Amino acid sequence: ANQGLCSGTLISPRLVLTARHCVAKTVSMVMCPATGVQITGHHRASELSILVGEDVASARVVAHGHSLIEPSGVTLCEADIAVIVLDEPVTSAKPLAVRAVGPTLGDHVRAVGFGRPGDRDPAGKKLLREHVRVQSVTSAEFTVGEATCSGDSGGPALDEDTSEIIGVVSRSGPS
């Protein structure tokens, strides 16, 4: 089976917020600004399993995808966000609120994901990166001063004070 690991955040009992590249088939290297087509196809929503837990090894499947909500277009730049509509509500985890406005330059966020802290480390344990500084902001994206872990894609960037979601982990550079 084609398996990958992305993080996501429950924003209502039937909706998971994640990165678009987690639910789409993409070219192997994504650079922005885009120089061509980056999205080459889509995964079927029903192929997506939603797990809840602190560690992927002990997490349990609580739902599957029913459908996807994502931007149109064939590039990920300033559009790497998607919502998975679930086939059944998730009641074993509390949804997080989405803040109405994004961060401003100099704000700090908390990044959460289930990636690998190092090249030789296994993925799948919940990790937090605190006090990550926002270095630039556009109308659709912001960049931070530290990369998150490989596999954190789709995980939330949270307001450090309110724990509201203010973004989704997308691309990363050197850690």
Tens of pLDDT, residue by residue over 14-30, are 999 999 999 999 998 88
**Tell me, what DSSP letter sits at residue 123?**
S
**Tell me, what DSSP letter sits at residue 125?**
B
- CA 27 to chain CA mean position, Å: 18
pLDDT band at 171 (very low <50, low <70, confident <90, very high): low
pLDDT band at 118 (very low <50, low <70, confident <90, very high): low
Q: Which residue has the tokens 């789409």?
A: 24
Q: Look up the pTM and report it.
A: 0.88
Give per-residue pLDDT as tens, 87-97.
999 999 999 99
Single out the residue of 60, 38, 51 nearest to residue 6, CA to CA: 51
Residues 6+ apart with CB under 8 A from 30: 21, 38, 76, 77, 171
**Tell me, what DSSP letter sits at residue 105?**
T
Q: Say if residue 8's pLDDT is above 70.
A: yes
Per-residue pLDDT, 86: 98
- Which is more confidently placed, 52 or 67? 67
Per-residue pLDDT, 125: 65
Alpha helices in the chain (DSSP H): none
Per-residue pLDDT, 123: 61
Q: Tell me how far apart the alpha carbons of residues 63 and 125 are, in angstroms, rounded to a whole number.
A: 20
Mean pLDDT computed over 109-126: 69
Per-residue pLDDT, 148: 62
Mean pLDDT computed over 57-75: 93
Contact assessment for residue 165 and residue 140, using Cβ atoms and an 8 Å cutoff: no
Listed ranges 28-37, 65-74, 116-125; the one with the highest mean pLDDT: 65-74
- Which is more confidently placed, 113 or 9? 9
Single out the residue of 6, 29, 28 nearest to residue 18, CA to CA: 6
Helix H or strand E segment including 136: strand 127-137
- Map residue 47 onto helix, strand or coil: helix
